[in-house]
Amino acid sequence: MDKIKSRRWDSAEHLRTEEDIALYFEACLEEAGDDAAFIAKALGNIARARGMTQLAHDTGLGRESLYKALSGDGNPSFSTILKVIKALGLKLHVETAGH
């Protein structure tokens, strides 16, 4: 029997269009609840899909510090998150929870 080779799923490989990215980020925001690391990791996936070097240039932040902050293990400041969102061409919007 042949061995099956598998590799780790990488969301960034599937974020090819602006619509893909917007839908992915929206789904992550809905799924995350109060898990800030989940959102940071989602932004990291989008950043890798777009190119971390360009993001570093657009935000004025170091590439390595962005990798760390957006890894899901980092603890980025809210201002870093806002810079990244803006540089990625994304917007946050608010609506009532509708409870």
Q: CB–CB of 55/66 below 8 Å?
A: yes
The one-character DSSP state at 27 is: H
pLDDT for 25-70, tens place per residue? 999 999 998 899 999 999 999 999 999 999 999 999 999 999 999 9
What is the C-alpha R_g of the chain? 15
Q: Under CATH, which architecture does the 18-87 domain have?
A: Orthogonal Bundle (1.10)
Q: Contact, 90 vs 25, CB < 8 A?
A: yes
3-state helix, strand, coil in the chain (%, to 5): 60, 0, 40
Could you tell me the residue ranges of all domains in the chain? Answer: 18-87
Q: Which residue is it, tokens 């990244």?
A: 84
Give how far Cα 45 sits from Cα of 94, 96, 97, Å. 23, 27, 26
Q: Is residue 99's pLDDT more than 80? A: no
Residue 6, amino acid: S
Q: Distance between the two ends of the chain, CA-based, in angstroms? A: 54
Check: pTM over 0.85? Answer yes or no: no
